[in-house]
Structure 1
């Protein structure tokens, strides 16, 4: 009986894991990257105002936001560091 209970628990656990993640295996990589930086790819794109993952557009918007948030011109070091994290997330 213990053998059947253990098998049933394993099956239930596997089913609940599959139901909890409808994105499949590729979603695990995206979620892991998001957990490392704290940002989803969508959030990072919204912050830098980029619709595509065009390196040229990302770099242009990154430079602008980094420059305007420079502390020496009255910007915020906190926001500047967030812009750096966003760029890192998009570069992943």
Structure 2
């Protein structure tokens, strides 16, 4: 008789876990499909970045900097604010790891927004100046 109770408990538990897993999978698939549709629809400046999960506006508010204009931002100011906030929220100094993570993701989001413009400028300057390989001497 005990084996019947144990068997029924296992079957009921399996059903519950199976249904929960199926529902979670449906939600993840719907979210992924929505993200792909949003990525195809626009440039994504107002939407959350897939890698950081943060909008550009949110990143600028966290670091208290102006949003990049035409793909250009004052990266020195961004890095200075990042370093100050990151260091002040160090868990060893009584800060919050969660806040440190948010600050890091904010910097990464702004860098992702500015990176294509910086790469294009670097490529144009290299074309203008000519290719100068960096030579390193062995000791």
TM over 0.5: yes
Give the CA deviation at 1:29.
4.2
Unaligned runs of 5+ in 1: 1-20
Provide the rounded CA distance (Å) in 2 between the counterparts of 1:43 and 1:62: 14
Off by >6 Å, runs of 4+ in structure 1: none
Match of 2:107 in 1: 87
Greater relative contact order structure (CA < 8 Å, 6+ sep): 1
TM-score of the superposition, structure 1-length normalised? Answer: 0.63
Alignment partner, residue 10 of structure 1: none
Conserved in 1, the CA contact under 8 Å of 2:46 and 2:56? no
Distance 1:40 1:72 in 2: 29
Tell me the residue number matched to 2:77.
57
Structure with bigger helix share is 1
C-alpha spacing 1:45/1:82, structure 2 compared with 1 (3 Å):
same
Unmatched runs of 5 consecutive residues or more in structure 2: 1-37, 68-72, 113-139
**Equivalent in the alignment of 1:46:** 61
**TM-score between both structures, scaled by the size of structure 2:** 0.44
What is the RMSD computed on CA atoms of the aligned residues? 2.6
When residues 84 and 50 of structure 1 are mapped into structure 2, their CA distance, relative to the original with a 3 A threshold, is same
Aligned mates of 2:58, 2:47 — CA distance in 1: 15
Instruction: Indicate the structure (1 or 2) with the bigger Cα radius of gyration.
Output: 2
